[in-house]
Amino acid sequence: MKNSLPEVHGFFQRDRSWHPPAFAPGYRSTVVRSPQRAPISFPNTLSEVTGPVFGHALLGELDNDLTINYAKAGESAIGPRIVVYGRVLDENGRPVPNSLVEFWQANAGGRYRHKKDTYLAPLDPNFGGCGRAVTDAEGRYWFRTVQPGAYPWPNGVNDWRPAHIHFSVFGPGFVQRLITQMYFEGDPMIWKCPIVRTIPDERAIERLIAKLDMEATQPFDSRLYKFDIVLRGSNSTLFENRKEGN
């Protein structure tokens, strides 16, 4: 009988004290958008451990180059040229291949190409602000962009977001879905930001700060920042000789 049941390897439970709490009044938008009752847990079923997959065939040639994927032919976005690279891993340290990584950001002046953004910094006609990549067999991704600017936002009267890039990441299981933000090493704005400070543990914040990698930097082209992302792991990969299928 037992053999007829689907073998489901659940993900390690989320450490909710490591993530920002839903209610974090320093970030005022959370006050009316935070559930107040305790979330309910049950063991992962096939509904949780399965998820959509996006192949490399999805990608266009310029998807991971934000300096030119919205630009007129022969032109490119204005701002400090950087490459962001890293790996998507799970909590066991295993690479997550075929992970769709999507990213979006403000331009070098701190302005988003969005109808709701009214900041007085100008739009860059050659910068859209979105890109995507699919990780390779070792979990690696990379993209070229311009370093985004800091920008003010309505929260307190003088709150500014540090320069950041938004990331959306898929794992093979739908409950691994994660959205987060990447910050830049050495930026003093990070520690003043009410959104950053929704994360209770300083060590967790450090995990979102990309490191400048001068060794990998491309001379006369782009500086490189390294940003690894960790998704929830499961016990399915603990035992090598288990039959295939995650």
Partner 1 sequence: MAQELNRLKESPSQTAGPYVHIGLTPNFLGIEGVFPVDLGREMVNDETIGERIDVVVRVFDGTGTVLKDVLVEIWQADAKGLYNSPNEPRGKADPNFTGWGRMASDMENGECVFRTIKPGQVPFNDGRMQAPHISLWIVARGINLGLQTRMYFADEDAANRVDPVLTRLEHQNRVPTLIAPREGNTYKFDIHLQGEKETVFFDI
Binding of residue 96 to partner 1 (CB under 8 A)? no
Nearer to partner 1, 214 or 241 (CB): 241
DSSP H or E segment with residue 94: none
Least distance to partner 1, CB of residue 246, Å:
5
Residue number with CB closer to partner 1 (33 or 80): 33
* Cβ distance to partner 1 smaller for residue 219 or 245: 245
Residue in 91, 138, 185, 221 binding partner 1, rule: CB under 8 A: 91
Q: Which of 150, 208, 223, 237 binds partner 1 (CB under 8 A)?
A: 208
Q: List the catalytic residue out of 87, 111, 132, 161.
A: 161
Please give the residues from 183 up to 202 whose contact with partner 1 meets the rule CB under 8 A.
195-196, 198-199, 201
- For this structure, is 223 an active site residue? no
Return the bridge partners of 211, or none.
226
Beta bridge partners of 178: 169
The token pair at 37 is 């009752």
User: Residue 44 corresponds to which tokens in the numbers above?
Assistant: 């992962």
Q: Does 34 sit near partner 1 (CB under 8 A)? A: yes
Binds partner 1 by CB under 8 A, chosen from 26, 33, 80, 185: 33
What gap in Å lies between CA 47 and CA 22, rounded to an integer? Answer: 24
DSSP assignment letter at 14: P
Contacts with partner 1 in 115-174 (CB under 8 A)?
115-117, 128-132, 166, 168, 172-174
Nearest to partner 1 of 197, 223 (CB atom): 197
Select which of 9, 166, 207, 223 is catalytic: 166
Give the three-state DSSP class for 187. Answer: coil
Residues facing 212 on adjacent strands: 225
Least distance to partner 1 from the beta carbon of 192, Å?
A: 15
Site string for partner 1, 42-81 (x = CB under 8 A): xxxxxxxxxxxxx---x-x-xx-----xx-----------
Instruction: Choose which of 104, 141, 184, 225 interacts with partner 1 (CB under 8 A).
Output: 104
Catalytic annotation on 114?
A: no
The token pair at 33 is 């958008």
Near partner 1 in 224-243, by CB under 8 A: 229-233
DSSP lists the bridge partners of residue 82 as 145, 223
Identify whether 166 is a catalytic site residue: yes
Q: Which residue pairs, CB below 8 angstroms and at least 24 apart, start in 184-188?
A: 184/147, 184/209, 184/210, 184/212, 184/225, 185/209, 185/210, 185/211, 185/212, 185/225, 186/212, 187/150, 187/162, 187/163
| CB neighbour list of residue 63: distance below 8 Å, 6 or more residues apart | 69, 131, 132, 133
Q: Are 13 and 41 in contact (CB under 8 A)?
A: yes
Tell me the two tokens of residue 173: 């299981």
* Shortest distance, position 152 Cβ to partner 1, whole Å: 13
Q: Please give the positions annotated as active site.
A: 112, 151, 161, 164, 166
